Amino acid sequence: MSQPDILPPPRAIDLVSPPCLTTVFHSASPNLPWTRSRSPPDSIEDDNLHDDNVNDDGDCDIIFPGLPPLFRGHPDVHLRNGVIRAAHLSAAGVPDAERAYFVADLSYVYNQYQRWKRCLPEIEPFYAVKCNPDPFVLRLLAALGTGFDCASNGEIAQILLLDVNPARIIFANPCKAASHVKSAAGQGVDTMTFDNVDELYKVARISPTAKLVLRILTDDSKSLCRLGLKYGAPLVTVPGLLAKAKDLELDVIGVSFHVGSGCYDPSAFADAVRWARAAFDMGLAAGYNFSLLDVGGGFDDATFEATAGVLRDAIDLHFPDRTGLRIIAEPGRYFVSRAFSLAANIIARRAPLSDGKTTEIKDKGNDQPSVMYYINDGVYGAFNCILFDHQQVYPYVLSMNGSFHFSGTESVGPSSVWGPTCDSIDCVCPMTMLPEGLGVGDWLAFDNMGAYTVCAASRFNGFAISKVTYTLGDGHGSQETLLALKAAVSAATA
């Protein structure tokens, strides 16, 4: 049996001392696993400290009354400002001063939109709201002119509140509650997907003039989240479904598919477009002349150009004549994944006793984590993406020993990172290399936290959902992002 361990007391956080504020980024070797790769800003300003609803330094705008302020500057600056702010709040005795927080760089979303237009100019993106229904993200995309993929009447209501024309919404859930079909139709949202015959009867009864889109099953085996288990009509069933739709005098306007979320093999799109072509031909045979091709979601930041190339070629090959054809997509992850980072505080640690002999961690070999870190967000919160979205997350050190300066030569050791709830499934990182000097009170950060994270976070065990600090970024697209958001306000008040 191991002894109860005695941890050193939490370190005093002295991030408020001037040296930490002026030169923030250590010139640390960027290849260490716990340092970040993105280029850092070279200064940090104490006066960027903020509270959610306080405009205290003139470097932020309150654009939307009732929403948090919008800051400027590199997201790294705001990640660090959050640490400093927590230190101030903690010194003032504020409860939960060290709570975890997101930083969202909205210019990233803006730039992804521009990138989309460059690579897929013929395809209109309909943002998949479920991926991250963040109020700023939705307003920005609405201002840029995207459509929206909604799956419930709640999501439809959220988008209509932004004064988006209902024609810009596709109700892309093939298995809808009858009451949701009814309320959507009542609000003018009449484009909706189906993939089974019961849905046809339902729509014929409730919303007979709906514009129906047939979701077909395609090969989703090259993606992180396979959706074909649940949705999509196999091609062999398509002629029967379309014949039934014709019988019911329903208006089927096109075909959709989803190659699976987090699709890592662009060729999946080529096959899917080929199958969609087959479904178009089955439509002709059934007496329909389809006018909509919906290529779904599954787009990934890292493989986007390759995917776009494959998709363009497949469309050229299978739909050489595109007169009267409208092509849309339903990207979710693509727009937001890299726009959000999360900072979390190390609230506890379980480490070998300082005598160097006794270890508190049971039954572990040499290559197993010898230090367990407990942080204040976990799989019941932002990191639900680990369970539901099959993500792996990679922590890096934001502050250590009360400072943003930490040695790039600090030795690292195998570590595991855990969330705050009392459930042992709440493991954020089973194995990662972290500096041996890391301890209670230090901060870790995680990038790529924008997709399927905060939207599915729970308050299990009484832990709050982490809040978001918004910035326009400090580079390309910041000014355009601000202008787009301001346009969103004037459109809403016009």
Ligand X SMILES: *Cc1c(COP(=O)(O)O)cnc(C)c1O
Single out the residue of 13, 109, 128, 217 in contact with ligand X (rule: CB under 6 A): 128
If one asks whether residue 130 binds ligand X (CB under 6 A), the answer comes out as: yes
Yes or no: say if 211 and 253 are a contact pair by the CB < 8 Å rule. Answer: yes
d(CA 12, CA 66): 35
Single out the residue of 254, 283, 332, 378 in contact with ligand X (rule: CB under 6 A): 332
List binders of ligand X among 156-185 (CB under 6 A): 172
CB atoms under 10 Å from CB of 115, counted, come to: 16
If one asks whether residue 261 binds ligand X (CB under 6 A), the answer comes out as: yes
Q: Give strand pairing partners of 294.
A: 256, 328
Q: Provide, rounded to whole angstroms, the least separation between the CB of residue 428 and ligand X.
A: 21
φ, ψ (nearest 5 deg) of residue 88? -60, -50
Which of residues 149 and 265 has its CB atom nearest to ligand X in the complex? 149
76-84, 293-301, 305-313, 406-414 -> range binding ligand X (CB under 6 A): 293-301
CA dihedral defined by 389, 395, 399, 401, rounded to 10 degrees? Answer: 130
CB atoms under 10 Å from CB of 30, counted, come to: 12
Could you give the count of Cα atoms lying within 13 Å of 277 in the half-sphere of its Cβ? 15
Helices (H), 236-332: 238-247, 267-286, 304-318
**Is residue 422 flagged as an active site residue?**
yes
375-411 CB burial, b ≥16 within 10 A, e <16: bbbbbbbbbbbbeebebebebbbbbbbbbbbbeeebe
List binders of ligand X among 239-258 (CB under 6 A): 258
Q: Which of 60, 385, 422, 427 is catalytic?
A: 422
26-34, 64-72, 297-305, 454-462 -> range binding ligand X (CB under 6 A): 297-305
Which of residues 74 and 333 has its CB atom nearest to ligand X in the complex? 333
Which of residues 350 and 390 has its CB atom nearest to ligand X in the complex? 390
If one asks whether residue 149 binds ligand X (CB under 6 A), the answer comes out as: yes
If one asks whether residue 296 binds ligand X (CB under 6 A), the answer comes out as: yes
Which of residues 78 and 130 has its CB atom nearest to ligand X in the complex? 130
Q: Provide, rounded to whole angstroms, the least separation between the CB of residue 128 and ligand X.
A: 3
If one asks whether residue 297 binds ligand X (CB under 6 A), the answer comes out as: yes
Q: Which residues are catalytic?
A: 422
Residues that bind ligand X in the complex, under the rule CB under 6 A = 128, 130-131, 149, 172, 258, 261, 296-299, 330-334
